[in-house]
Amino acid sequence: MNPIHKVLSILRACRVRYLLMGGQACILYGAAEFSRDTDIVILAEVSNLKRLRRALLELRAGCIAVPSLSLKWLRKGHAVHFRCLCSEAKNMRLDVMSKLRNAPAFNELWKRRTTVTIADGESYDLISLPDLLQIKKTQRDKDWIILRRLVEAHYFNHARKPDAAKLDFWLEEMRTPEILVDLAKRYPKQTSSAVNRRPLLYYALRGDKLGLEAALKDEEEAERSADRCYWAPLKKDLERMRHKIARSRKIE
């Protein structure tokens, strides 16, 4: 069995309430990205955490960094990192979160989820594409490359006959200047209506690719800055935990 499928099948067998996100979700949405990690967002409740602990035991997964697994840290927004040691998923990393920047609470994410069935008939619940895009707006360079690919993949799969919802989605999230200019030419009324939500579409309506590229860069920089601000206090938490562990080792 594929190691990733092994991890997900055990999570499902243990009835863990989770959604797949990260690199594996990007692959399933058509933006190829090699990843040996399995990233999930879970419902942060006592009963669900018990089910997750059972799954971790079956996976022989140990925590490999601070913080430890607890509702306190999950609800605050921390990721908890594990390494699986069971034979069918050996060295697979499992990263668990429950609170995500730019995303609603888990129950809302669950309502908007996408269910994908792969070639062997297995089905998996993924975070929705719009929600995945929002959580990819980070300070990391690679996330912006993948974000662009995700929207382009969706566009090229549906460009022939888009409905209003898909068109609005592209106008709000597309990061490719040439496609935005083309959309503005083909759908000027819808683009004009979307300018209030995304002012940089003004440049697309004018066919100004240079202005559009600059505005897209400004939009990206604003998100990078917001992400740095979001993670700053969480990084301080991690530093305190590491210092506490280091002090305890010195005492020993």
In a domain, 206, yes or no: yes
Q: What is the pTM of this model?
A: 0.94
Helix axes 177-186, 209-251, angle to 10 degrees: 130
Q: Give yes or no: residues 148 and 128 share one domain.
A: no
Nearest to 205 by CA among 219, 193, 188: 188
In a domain, 49, yes or no: yes
Distances (CA, A) of 48 to 12, 44, 174: 12, 7, 36
Q: Give yes or no: residues 92 and 167 share one domain.
A: no
In a domain, 236, yes or no: no
Q: Give yes or no: residues 123 and 223 share one domain.
A: no
Q: Give yes or no: residues 26 and 104 share one domain.
A: yes
In a domain, 250, yes or no: no
Per residue in 80-111, pLDDT (tens digit) is 999 999 999 999 999 999 999 999 999 999 99
Q: Give yes or no: residues 124 and 33 share one domain.
A: yes
Q: Give yes or no: residues 166 and 182 share one domain.
A: yes
Domain of 50 in residue numbering reads as 3-135
In a domain, 248, yes or no: no
Q: Give yes or no: residues 127 and 24 share one domain.
A: yes
Domain count, the chain: 2
Q: Give yes or no: residues 79 and 151 share one domain.
A: no
Per residue in 199-230, pLDDT (tens digit) is 999 999 999 999 999 999 999 999 999 999 99
H or E element: which one contains 72? helix 71-76
Q: Give yes or no: residues 131 and 157 share one domain.
A: no
Per residue in 147-202, pLDDT (tens digit) is 999 999 999 999 998 999 999 999 999 999 999 999 999 999 999 999 999 999 99
**Strand, coil or helix: 242:** helix
> What would the two tokens of residue 195 be?
């300018």
